[in-house]
Amino acid sequence: MMRGEQKACAKINLTLDITGELPDRYHSIFTVMQTVGLWDDVVVETTEAEGISLTCSDNTLPCDGRNTAYLAAELFLRAAGVESGVAVTVQKRIPAQAGLAGGSADAAAVLRALDGLFPGRLSRRQLLDIAFCIGADVPFCLAGGARLCQNKGEVMAELPGLDAWVVLVKPEENVSTKAAYDRFAQAKDLFHPDNGRFLFYAAAGEYRKALAYACNTFEALCEVPSGEAIKAALYAGGAYYAAMSGSGSAFFGLFEEESRAAAAAEALKASFPQTFLCHTVDGTGE
């Protein structure tokens, strides 16, 4: 039997704009995502038994085709013509419903693991196509690093990585991405980031300048009552930028110094137990 292990790293959205509606009624986005060093551990093993089995440390998550890790294995095996059974084990750390791409990261980790176990069966293009079939963030999680993602998220361009300490804060509130997009259709005078100026500086790796033109449009569309307090605490703790990640409900702060980030994280844990200190990551963290 063969075994593959992967880190499934979370992501943050340094900026996120909803730029319009596509012909298929989905919304187009402009976002720059960055991999961070909070991860789930994913193990994939071949088995003598047929089919796919999934074990997850979070017993609130399904362990069948509704789980992105299971779906990733199913689609890979089918596309690659692999008849071997596989067992997938996921040790969760990334909070669910946080906008940190925990499920997407797990799916991408399964694809990378299977690609390592069955090398050459699928092309990079085929892997990316499978990733996008699973979810809009999965292609990014497959690649990792820092990337501009557009359209539905599948159009990607690599950018210089951000070097920063990151404090992640997941409040108790959960949000509905669908409800946020529904509000977008009715929203008036919605504030948008300056995408052109952000990208001008980000492409040169000058993120302190780029972030002056950043924001997350979803913050005005998602109801996270504790969000403003979290952002205020992050800035008070020394963050040079703070925002919601994805469609929430997690927020993050960026810090230059580990000591200040660690102190801010410790202070926030008293009110928000799901607070994490990590660093940005190049690539997928392997």
Distance between first and last Cα of the chain: 22
Strand partners, 21: 27
Catalytic residue among 7, 106, 137, 170: 137
11 a catalytic residue: yes
Question: CB-based contacts of 103: which residues, under 8 Å, 6+ apart?
Answer: 67, 68, 69, 96, 135
Encoded tokens for 195: 């995408």
Cα–Cα distance, 228 to 234 (Å, whole number): 10
Catalytic residue among 11, 92, 170, 231: 11
Residue whose C-alpha is closest to residue 97's, from 276, 222, 265, 250: 250
Beta bridge partners of 87: 45, 53
Residue where the block lists tokens 């005005």: 220
Establish whether 58 is a catalytic residue: no
Quick check: 215 and 191 in contact, CB under 8 A?
Answer: yes
Q: Which residues are catalytic?
A: 11, 137
